[in-house]
Structure 1
Amino acid sequence: MKIKNIKKLSIIFTLLFTFSCSDFNDINVNDITPTSIPLGNLIPNIVIQPTLEHTIFAVDVTNKLIQYTTRFEDAEGDKYNTAALEPMWNDTYAALRNLNFLLEGKEGNENYEGIALVIKSWLFYNLTNLYGDVPYSEAGNASSGQNLPKYDSQESIYEGLIADLERANTLIGNGTVALTGDIIYDGDLLKWKKFANSLKIRVLMSRSSKVDPSVKLQEMIDNPAQFPIFEAFGDQPAYKYLTDQYVVSKHEGWVGVTAITTPFINLLKDTNDERIKTIAAPVPNTTNTFEGAEPAGTDAFDVNAISVQSALIWDSHEFPIVQTVWMMHSELLFLLAEAAEKGYITGGTTVAENYYKDGIKSSYNYQKWMGDQAVAAALVGMEPMANFNDSYFSDPQVTYTGSRDEKLEKIGKQMWISSLNHIEIYFYQRRTGYPVITPGPTTVNNNKIPVRFNYPNNEKIFNTTAYNNAVSAMGGDDINTKMWIIK
């Protein structure tokens, strides 16, 4: 897919490390050796670029597909005009060559190996959910002569993800070599274990329509000491951008014309949701008036009459507020609410309601924490959020009542509110149908939200046989071709 704003957004982020791959052979070249670079030095190289690309893709594409934001001037994603998406592909395989050094399994390096398995699982979860079948088992093995890796089925990739996360849970905390270079958790091994298990719950729920997750989910819930999971938003794996990585606020041609959509802003307004203050900026020359713009609308919107994305996203470059979070604590709780409501774990609707309410509170408190820091540092001219009030649960659109489908839709709406700037909400909506999306009037693709992205063009050229086999197995390389987990 062409993402026109990558060049624009790259001005905003000053990258510490970059990877560039012109073809799959280049991706698989191991040009550094573990004897020349300490293992801890590899972690930033592995993490930064894919994390940045994750945010760019969310802001530029999935925010529009899921109707958080809309842009009149450049609305490819907004109008469902999508094609190949190469940066996420290239960055995943570039990271893999360094991950392989951490995955060698040398005695004493168990912590590095475990963390590498978690990072690898996060990367390939995103990749297979964007494309479907992808190179997995043979990827990154150029040194063994596998320059043209086969594409693995999504079903087998999911099995691999679960196995790797289970192994990571046993490895982390058992290494003797000191862990360095950890720019996500600063060496906190318990938090890495919590992420491994929380991510495993995401993976299990993502394929739940194909494979019953009940046994593995219940085992984890019944054994929190063996399978620790997120307990607060402070457990979230978050990359915090440094001051010199944010060089421009309110970037020309981007922030000022990126509006919050009417459906999203109306949900927040209708429920008196204080999170609106960290999501949207008030209409210019007002203090507490918020108005949205029609997604994929037919006319240019008046920037003086609508709410653009909150300045918290862009104006906090002098303070490490802006983050890319790999998985939210609130997401985990909403997944567990869904699992309880569907009977995958014990407790039924009563337990589901508890997880649902705790998920809302976690999302609310995280956004308040970010907003409070910005206000305290005088970085963003915004009204602080009030403390959470349980009266929010009494709103008819929020209260956990109704049929099972109505309760699942309410969980989905809260996932929507809590997941701005996260590509996971695109995968979640595709799987569950929530939030319900009504395409705008100028969308292409017959008013259907794309369910995947085309393979990079270089794959057709350099890995032709494997590419053709994958396309044949999946039923086409089309943005409407359903992958295994949603067939």
Structure 2
Amino acid sequence: MKKYISLFLLSSFLLVTSCDERFEELNTDPNRPGASVFDPNLLLPTISYQHGNLLTGYSGPILFQSMWIQALASTSTGGANYYSNADKYVISSSTPSYIEGNWNNGFQLGSRVNQLQILAQEKGLTNLNAVGEIMKVSALSVVSDTYGDIPYSEALKAQEGISQPKYDTQTEVYNKMLTDLEAALNSITPSGDPIRNDVMYRGDIAKWRRFGYSLMLKLGLRLTNVSSSSAQSWVQKAVAGGVFTSPDDDALVPSDEANGYSNTSANALNVPDDVYEVRWSKVMIDYLKATNDPRLSIVAEVPPPGLAANRNGGVVGNNDPAAQIGLPNGFDLRGGDFDISGHPDFPGGTGSGADLAPIGAYSRPTAIYRRRNAPVFILTYAEVQLMLADAAVRGFTSGSAADFYRNGVAAAFTSIGKFGGATVSNADAIAYLNANPLDVSSPNASLKMINEQIWATTSLFVNFLEAWNNWKRTGFPVLTPVNFPGNFGSGQIPRRQPYPAGESNTNPESLNAAISRMGGDNWTTKTWWDGGN
């Protein structure tokens, strides 16, 4: 991947020099090949890697959504007090920079896709242009889902003189994203230009099409609460186009630790403070234990006793399912009413004296989450099958919700092995599926079970943003908000991130119009499609 990303830097230089008045002369210099000979396929690895970073690490998801949706938990004391943003909805000194992470990364990625598309269109590379559109829609949907109204129709048009783009309503953004995605998918053809330097699908056009239609399914379902007819229409278009057919279609971004392109969530979880502070939540561990979920021993471990071992990600803990204990959200180690030691189920610390680890008996993520070469999960067959189960219950598509659910859970067991650790055996998978069929006693019972599984699956895949977004859409799982003193959520689970502070200086008129339409710029303002609870 290193050579591909280095070539992106070369391409950026070429695009800048293309505006120089000496363009013609520079392009005839044999040592400075211009845009006419540069292959825009070389931008794909950079675009893919940055898309992965939208969903991982300190750009926001670990520091916000991971604990808002109560997959992870933290007492947020000592060196890692930045987890107070997530576990207790309390501001830390770096919160303003965390707020802008997805905004900046998303639009930077969009700008790079725009460069790819300009070159692809000039060269008649229709398939590459379409792949770029799939990635752009996927990335900017993350930005809109995180903030609400965003620049879209006028975004990324600085070359056309638009430096202060208007903010489109989220309604407009979604309508345009879905129609843009449909147009891109209609343009892809197996007989067209080959996709090269593709770290995700190795140039497999059929898999790119299935990714695009699976993305359409996800975005279509976002409309469930605001326009069920539109949601159904887009779901049916996605199914007719052809969504993922097996875990082989999973949209994963590979990481490359050796050349400096690590999985950024793994980077975070290798920091000693984070190794100690980040634990699986009580909600997550209780959910997995309630059904004897075979993933539990793969994802959770209790570290060896003592603070030193708890801060060392290189030591192997006890992964016996019976030993796992989830940390309740919303507690600290500062004494007083919210000290975890006062919780009625507090198991006690481990170690003693200077080596005491007060939260050492709680389950932490296993080493698979500290693998810097682990892939980033963007969208998976497991999620697609579970979304189809949801759609089937709602009457948006035909087929058996129970079968879709079974396929989705089985695929989740398969894909957890893609982190590079242990896998779920076939016998354990079958036993679980037979013991835990979809509850079809009522539509609500089915939707509850399906969407709790989406929450667990996306969280275990470290796609906390998707777990949060699906929770906003459906209201499942039912979560009890944390109401810690001084929290910025007014005792409610945050529904969005405020806009970056810099926007008030660079694009104030459009920003203020968006804030007025949305009814405020705070953590609990619901965006257009958000109506699950």
Q: TM-score, normalised by structure 1?
A: 0.85
1:436-451 equivalent positions in 2, closer than 5 A: 436-440=478-482, 442=484, 444=487, 445-451=489-495
Match of 1:292 in 2: 326
Do the aligned residues in 2 keep the contact of 1:67 with 1:264 (CA within 8 Å)?
yes
Task: State the one-letter code of the partner of 1:409.
Answer: K
The whole-number CA distance in structure 2 between the counterparts of 1:434 and 1:337 is: 15
The whole-number CA distance in structure 1 between the counterparts of 2:501 and 2:234 is: 38
Match of 2:233 in 1: 215
Task: State the one-letter code of the partner of 2:396.
Answer: Y
The whole-number CA distance in structure 2 between the counterparts of 1:267 and 1:116 is: 38
Match of 2:55 in 1: 54
Do the aligned residues in 1 keep the contact of 2:413 with 2:424 (CA within 8 Å)?
no
Match of 2:46 in 1: 45
Do the aligned residues in 1 keep the contact of 2:406 with 2:438 (CA within 8 Å)?
no
Match of 1:370 in 2: 418
Match of 1:31 in 2: 16
1:16 deviates by: 5.6
Do the aligned residues in 1 keep the contact of 2:295 with 2:424 (CA within 8 Å)?
yes
1:42 is paired with a residue whose SS is: helix
The whole-number CA distance in structure 2 between the counterparts of 1:209 and 1:333 is: 20
The whole-number CA distance in structure 1 between the counterparts of 2:295 and 2:125 is: 42
RMSD: 2.8
1:164-175 equivalent positions in 2, closer than 5 A: 164-173=180-189
Change (3 A) 1:50 1:215: closer
The question of 1:352 aligning with 2:397 is answered no
Aligned residues: 445
1:19 deviates by: 11
Task: State the one-letter code of the partner of 1:446.
Answer: S
The whole-number CA distance in structure 1 between the counterparts of 2:237 and 2:135 is: 23
The whole-number CA distance in structure 1 between the counterparts of 2:150 and 2:7 is: 23
The whole-number CA distance in structure 2 between the counterparts of 1:51 and 1:286 is: 30
Match of 1:7 in 2: none
The question of 1:268 aligning with 2:277 is answered no
The unaligned stretches of length 5 or more in structure 1 are 1-12, 21-26, 376-383
Change (3 A) 1:32 1:187: farther
1:177 deviates by: 3.7
Match of 2:343 in 1: none
The question of 1:259 aligning with 2:279 is answered yes
Match of 1:282 in 2: 302
Q: Which has the larger radius of gyration?
A: 2
Match of 2:148 in 1: 132
The question of 1:465 aligning with 2:509 is answered yes
The question of 1:201 aligning with 2:217 is answered yes
1:79-478 equivalent positions in 2, closer than 5 A: 79-81=88-90, 84=96, 85-104=99-118, 105-106=121-122, 108-173=124-189, 176-211=192-227, 212=229, 213-221=231-239, 223=240, 227-244=241-258, 245-246=261-262, 250-284=270-304, 286-288=318-320, 289-297=323-331, 298-299=338-339, 302-314=358-370, 316-317=371-372, 320=373, 322-347=374-399, 351-367=400-416, 369-370=417-418, 373-374=420-421, 385-387=424-426, 388-395=428-435, 399-420=438-459, 421-422=462-463, 423-440=465-482, 442=484, 444=487, 445-478=489-522
Q: Deviations over 1:166-197 (max 9, x none)?
A: 11212223564442221211211111100000
The unaligned stretches of length 5 or more in structure 2 are 19-34, 305-316, 332-337, 341-348, 350-357
Change (3 A) 1:60 1:236: same
Do the aligned residues in 2 keep the contact of 1:283 with 1:290 (CA within 8 Å)?
no
Do the aligned residues in 1 keep the contact of 2:110 with 2:140 (CA within 8 Å)?
no
The whole-number CA distance in structure 2 between the counterparts of 1:448 and 1:32 is: 50
The whole-number CA distance in structure 1 between the counterparts of 2:443 and 2:413 is: 24
Change (3 A) 1:478 1:408: same
Do the aligned residues in 2 keep the contact of 1:133 with 1:152 (CA within 8 Å)?
yes
